[in-house]
Structure 1
Amino acid sequence: MEIKALIFKLAEKYGRKRENLIPILQGVVQEERYISDEAMVEIARQLDISAAQVYGTCTFYSFLNTKPKGKYIIRVCETIVCDMRGKKEVISTLEDLLKIKIGETTHNKRFSLLKTECLGWCHKGPVMLVNDEVYTELTPEKIRNIIAKYKENIN
């Protein structure tokens, strides 16, 4: 769907008030995997706010991507609790499997690897999120199985 049509549809669904900015931004990320400059300008136009307000909101929240990401966005919790429970080993395993570093996307645009703040699963750390799916109590073996599953599901 063209970005202008998508944003028009989202503005119709949520309303054209400033307080609906975040649901509209989330809708764009869900469809496009990131919010382009063009999308920010169109959202500002639809909500009658400045593009700077849209940009400020996009860059404040880590889940509102402003750069293209892979089909599967992996977010590893970077809090002290997950660190004490093996976060470094999780990141190392993911980097080895995907052949990318934190903050990068695979050359085929299938996986992006990011750090994030607390995901709310401290009692089951270390934790990662793949798109909307939470994975807890991670080990290198568990990670290998998870990534293999996502590699199999790629069309």
Structure 2
Amino acid sequence: MAESGPPTTIAVSTQLSRVLWKIHELEATLATYDATHAELLEQRLVQYEELLSETRDMLKRRSATADASLAEEVQRNTLEGRKVPEELVRALDAGVNPDEYLRETFKACRRDNQISKGKCEALQLLFANLLADSAEVFPQDAAEYRKLLGL
């Protein structure tokens, strides 16, 4: 196996299956061993040794690339450089189920969103009422203002 890059998980799995099959063949040969099987046993032992050597090389290549990716994964899985809400940490320390915390936080966000939506609608209504009232008192100025706003 002359691969340039690191072996895939499937390649390692296939190679290990081949080694296990070769062990099975050796066991079968040894179970029925007599002097006539000496040449077959020697051939299977040589094949087994070659497979082990290939597997060892494959795992070394995989390990070399895994060390680099492991360092990156450890970096990615740390909290360094990430902001975690203090409320979440407090809730987890208090033994609150994270799913329950998420549900409650989502409900609170929806409630706050509805409150904000109501305030926005109230401000829009206030603006419309002020514009209507100003149009009654100052019709020319209100028309000019509406023109500037593009209404």
Could you state the TM-score of these two structures normalised by the residue count of structure 2?
0.20
Higher helix share: 2
Higher strand share: 1
Point out the structure with max Rg over C-alpha.
2
